[in-house]
Amino acid sequence: MSRNGQVYSAPVEASGALVLGDFELAAGTWFPWHVHESHHQLVWASRGIVAVNVGDAHWVLPPTRALWLPAGTVHRTGADGRARLSGIYADPARCPVGWPEPRLIAVGPLLRELLRHLTADDLGEEPRARAEAVAFDLLEPVDVTPISVPMPRDPRAREVAEALLADPADPRGLAEFGRVAGASERTLARLFLTQCGVGFGHWRTQVRLRAALPWLAAGTPLTGVARRVGYSSPSAFVAAFRRAVGMPPGEYFAGGYR
């Protein structure tokens, strides 16, 4: 059950290779961690912006992007604002797509209209099969690195992490944080490296980029996004985004921001 009381429902059996259904997500709705053992899922919102977590990895999806989740992937899905989420599930036995890991997918006008077409209740078996075949052909992966923010276990490092999650633009370094958390700069650096698998600077960058995703997806001007997450200029933010993700934010969202 989501935090606003909506009940999560698993896909139902159907005659086609795809099962589709639309439902509204109220602002602040997050489904709990769950898994679809027998179906692949394509997470897509025809309206609004949704987010998906898989472990420490985080994706934010405007209508131009979807996320492919192979069967057996533990995840959670939610929306900070109002959105219309499409429940799209694929039968692995009848699905030509076999990506073993989550993949970001481009959703162009044709795929969008096909997905809407497939939700029709009166669609015959043969027209459905033809539309499904084209829809599968249109699943175009976007080659990006997901933004991952692992959390440290040590309470001193976790206090630093939670402060930066609350305010990604906080300019303090580990020496300043250490005076509050009760640990030396060297100790905190070691804790982030050993418990998160990355150095503190890289970890902070991931936090800032993850915080930027919803604003970028909503079309917030780049200058404002960069300032909100602690970058002195849009160019510095774009450079950091490109290094971490593999492409600039405009390409990542394919028209999702201006």
Domain of 104?
18-142
Residue 15's pLDDT band (cuts 50, 70, 90): low
In this structure, the answer to whether residues 190 and 108 fall within a common structural domain is no
171 confidence band (pLDDT: 50, 70, 90): very high
Question: Mind listing the pLDDT tens digit for each residue in 36-52?
Answer: 999 999 999 999 999 99
pLDDT in tens, 44-95: 999 999 999 999 999 999 999 999 999 999 999 999 889 999 889 999 999 9
CATH no. for residue 178? 1.10.10.60
> What is the pLDDT at residue 252?
87
Taking the C-alpha atoms of residue 19 and residue 41, their distance in angstroms, rounded to an integer, is 9
Contacts of 108 (CB under 8 A, 6+ apart): 64, 138, 140
Number of compact structural domains in the chain: 2
* Whole-number pLDDT of residue 8: 43
Q: Is residue 58 in some structural domain?
A: yes
Please state, for a pLDDT cut of 90, what percent of the chain lies above it.
Answer: 77
Q: Is the pLDDT of residue 14 over 60?
A: no
Contact between 4 and 29 under an 8 Å Cβ cutoff? The reply is: yes
- 85-121 pLDDT, tens digit each: 988 999 999 999 989 999 999 999 999 999 988 888 7
Domain contains 40: yes
Whole-number average pLDDT of the chain: 90
Q: Does 255 score more than 60 pLDDT?
A: no
Q: Are residues 164 and 134 in the same domain?
A: no
Say if 56 falls within a structural domain.
Answer: yes
Same domain for 156 and 249, yes or no, is yes
Beta bridge partners of 20: 88
Q: What is the pLDDT of residue 121?
A: 77
- At residue 6, does pLDDT exceed 60? no
154 in Cβ contact with 213 (< 8 Å): no
Instruction: Name, in order, each residue with C-beta under 8 angstroms of 244's C-beta and a sequence gap of 6 or more.
Output: 145, 147, 205, 206, 209
Residues 162 and 118 in one domain: no
191-219 mean pLDDT: 96
Q: Is the per-residue pLDDT at 4 higher than 70? A: no
Would you place residue 1 in the very low, low, confident or very high pLDDT band (cuts 50, 70, 90)?
A: very low
Could you tell me if residue 4 is inside a domain? Answer: no
- pLDDT, position 19: 87
Residue 23 has pLDDT above 80, yes or no: yes
The pLDDT score that the predictor gives to residue 141 is 93
Contact call for residues 59 and 104 (beta carbons, < 8 A): yes
